Structure 1
Amino acid sequence: MTALVILALVALFIGLRLFSVLGERTGHEQPLVKAPETEPKASGLMPEPDLAGASASDDDAMNYVPLAGPGVRALLAADPGFDVARFLDGAKGAYRMILEKFWQGDLESVEEFVDDNVLGAFGGAVEARNAQGLTLDNRLIHIDHATIVAANLDRSIAGLTVRFEADIAAVTRDAEGNVVAGSMDDAVQTRDRWTFRRDVASADPNWILVETDEEA
């Protein structure tokens, strides 16, 4: 019984934190995070952004930390149609959807939205959980905050890291459906950093999840 409880606790931790891996993408409560449709650049590469001509609104500035400001302004210069608030709405939708599908073990539903390395790590976690006869009965109660904490633009490749602060209720059950860890009565506050990437020169408007990490 002690070994089962230990395995359950390990599965619970994995269910909450997902793993620290490389990968990226985003989506939103409608389709996954979509940037405004723009004409793709013929060269596939972006010129160096003119930061002097790029600016973000006061409302947008509330959605990212000061250190991310130069990267956000570079992205705005390269893709004037980019909208910070809309991106964060999509990122929150992706966070919820990918977590829920991971908990359910249904990775096929999200494979087009995550990098291969992330998908591989998630798949390994699901296989280990199944081998132990454990299931996760987790619930994402609420996303309290979603803030851009890092932003960069390397030629046409944009990367945005979002810090999510959320409340999650987590329960681990054995093969018979008995609760072996966690409780639905107590939500745990989590802080995760997910990194999303997109080629702004591409006609594809979606962002891809390329990295997940836990914030201490």
Structure 2
Amino acid sequence: MLYVILLAMVAGFLALRLYSVLGKRTGHEQPLPKPAEERATNVVLPRTVDAQAEPREAMVRPIEAGAEQGLRQIVQAEPGFDVVRFLEGAKAAYRMTLEAFWRGDEAELRELATDDVASAFVESIAARREAGERLDNRLVTIERATIADARLNGREARIIVRFDADIAAVTRDAEDRVVAGSTDDAVETHDVWTFARTLGASDPNWKLADTDEV
């Protein structure tokens, strides 16, 4: 009988210990992402590379071998830089830039891109308007974002990110008729974008400095 009582006491003690560990919030839990309409309209790619970030992403390997040396140089120049956060910000910037271009938002494009890239976007938007066309595109999903290269020239850092995404692309004329693309099918898209920033500058934003397709 004494043996049974001891077992019950041990079980009760273990239950209390489990509750103390699992039943309390630690203050480090990550909140659920906010809906898109509640997020800020401007994305700041975080300045801050945690040297421990890469092991957390080892299964995904979002960094190609050729980019590692450049990232180390960026980390040395700005120790707070965080690779994982940068990629999350890059994906948000990818979506925001595409959507701004599709709807012809020139002001937002100038916030997200360098002067040369923004001017190229604006010229394309002007040509589209002159032709009486509009884009009815939708970014379905970003399958993968990978850092393909990273460079540091003086204080200017450049990080090249390859995006693999699915995009539903439709062009409509002034009468809203579909003149190109499909409303039903998404197209696999492979873009290579370069983000640039002057390390140590007061402006924390990384801006789109170049675009290309694979």
TM-score by length of 1: 0.75
Query: Relative to total residues, which structure has the larger strand share, 1 or 2?
Result: 1
Deviations 1:12-41 (A, max 9, x none): xxxxxxxxxxxxxxxx9774133347xxxx
Q: In 2, distance between residues paired with 1:170 and 1:184?
A: 7
Deviations 1:101-144 (A, max 9, x none): 10111111221221111111111111111111111100000000
Moved more, 128-137 or 54-63: 54-63
Corresponding residue for 2:46?
Answer: 35
Instruction: Label 1:30 to 1:121 Cα distance change in 2 as closer, same or farther (>3 A).
Output: closer
The root-mean-square deviation of aligned C-alpha atoms, in Å, is 1.9
**Higher-Rg member (1/2):** 2
Corresponding residue for 1:157?
Answer: 156
Structure 1's consecutive aligned runs of 4 or more residues displaced over 2 angstroms after TM superposition are: 28-31, 33-37, 54-57
Is this contact kept in 1: 2:162–2:192, CA < 8 A? yes
% identity of equivalent residues = 50
Is this contact kept in 1: 2:135–2:172, CA < 8 A? yes
Asked whether 1:112 is paired with 2:111, we answer yes
Q: In 1, distance between residues paired with 2:204 and 2:138?
A: 29
Q: Secondary structure at the match of 1:190?
A: strand
Q: In 2, distance between residues paired with 1:34 and 1:180?
A: 36
Q: Give the superposition deviation at 1:80.
A: 1.1
Is this contact kept in 2: 1:29–1:92, CA < 8 A? no
Moved more, 28-37 or 70-79: 28-37
Asked whether 1:58 is paired with 2:55, we answer yes
Gaps of 5+ in 1: 1-27, 38-53
**Higher RCO (CA-CA < 8 Å; seq separation 6+):** 1
Q: In 1, distance between residues paired with 2:45 and 2:192?
A: 20
Instruction: Label 1:214 to 1:121 Cα distance change in 2 as closer, same or farther (>3 A).
Output: same
Q: In 1, distance between residues paired with 2:40 and 2:80?
A: 19
Corresponding residue for 2:169?
Answer: 170
Q: Secondary structure at the match of 2:80?
A: coil
Q: In 2, distance between residues paired with 1:70 and 1:151?
A: 8
Is this contact kept in 2: 1:152–1:159, CA < 8 A? yes
Q: Secondary structure at the match of 1:34?
A: coil
User: When the two structures are aligned, how many residues end up with a matched partner?
Assistant: 172
Q: In 2, distance between residues paired with 1:125 and 1:148?
A: 27
